[in-house]
Amino acid sequence: MQAVSPTFSCDLKPMIQTNLTAKIARYSHVNRNRVSVRCSYKSESFSFPNGVGSSRADWQSSCAILASKVASAENSSSITGSLAGQVAAVNGHSNDSVNLSLVPSNTQNGKPGLIQPLTNTDLSPAPSHGSTLRVAYQGVPGAYSEAAAGKAYPKSEAIPCDQFDVAFQAVELWIADRAVLPVENSLGGSIHRNYDLLLRHRLHIVGEVQIPVHHCLLALPGVRPDCVRRVISHPQALAQTEGSLNKLTPKAAIEAFHDTAAAAEYIAANNLRDTAAVASARAAELYGLQILADGIQDDAGNVTRFLMLARDPIIPRTDRPFKTSIVFAAQEREGTSVLFKVLSAFAFRNISLTKIESRPHQNCPVRVVGDGGVGTAKQFEYTFYVDFEASMAEARAQNALSEVQEYTSFLRVLGSYPMDMSPWSTLPSEDA
């Protein structure tokens, strides 16, 4: 059953926007089954410019993306929505005006095109839920994050976002129901940006999923490896395939790109016959590229861990393995010595830790110690992220956190969630 929410009050701009249509036209040769944004409104009739339907059903079928010109890039961390004239602030910030416009889907030669990833200017609160779970991920269709979203929620509707913080805000503003975002890679280490965003936003971790990374070398049809003069991809993907690239394309220049799948899309959109991309096999299928070499990662044990985020936490259980993630800061003047006490609280109760990550304290990154007579020194202050193998439904986990709280000035449980126990293979999957 579809939920009914209050009527939205907004000023709709003309539907046809030349620059946005031109951007969307780049994807016209690919299917977009999993990347559309469906929005619904209260059942009253509406009148839209440019001949868009007068009923909710007509509007819904015509809607590709509901875009909102809500903030400049400098204020991207404080995007908010407006619902029936009431401003719902996110993280204590708000915007005075919300100007909505419809971005139509594009077709070329009778084929539907892919939709651009959500950006900071595309965020506006969706007034109601549909029956399909909507999952936000960072990147464009064909990214490894899309494969992770598909594994975490197989029957979901994937929503691409151009930045990590946009995916967080998409869930907070009800555009998406879940977000699936990477936090660490077995070779590249932690993704610090997402750890910082976990603390900045109020979403809850409700699960995890691990995806083997299977890299391919992609180029336009007919291009041979010896014709490649440039290879582009995400910096981590380039580092993970350095050995293979030296053998396959020894004369090619290596250039960093912001996303693996976006690199493949860029080659297809600009018809670059001297350029190849390191991306997934799905990206080759979506953007009409050929696979010059398959499985070019230097290390077969290349796995990325993703977190599943939601607005509400799940109820911890004890009938299956659970993991709990917390973040804390030391008490004033205690410094990093408190870390030993925290670890002891878990060790005493035989609780295994799977992750420890330190990040600079956002409110007080430097602490001054000493006195005027001897001199002063500056020490860095940190917040600590810890994952441990226990459910918050267990007494030992509750007692451990009760003790940890005595040593910390700040303690927050980010989530208690089922561990990903599914087997994985280094062979490519249908999604990757």
* C-beta of residue 143 within 8 angstroms of C-beta of residue 137: yes
**Per the residue annotation, which of 241, 249, 260, 304 is the catalytic one?**
304
**Residue with structure tokens 């003047």?**
333
Task: Point out which residues pair with 358 in neighbouring strands.
Answer: 384
Distance between CA atoms of residues 393 and 158, nearest Å: 32
Distance between CA atoms of residues 204 and 326, nearest Å: 11
**Residue with structure tokens 């079928």?**
61
Distance between CA atoms of residues 43 and 345, nearest Å: 55
**Per the residue annotation, which of 8, 257, 306, 322 is the catalytic one?**
306
Element (DSSP H or E) covering residue 129:
none
DSSP string across 179-219: EEEEEEETTTEE-HHHHHHHHHS--EEEEEEEEE---EEEE
Residues 6+ apart with CB under 8 A from 374: none
To the query of whether residue 304 is one of the catalytic residues in this protein, the response is: yes
Counts of helices then strands in the chain (DSSP H, E): 11, 24
Residues annotated as part of the active site: 304, 306
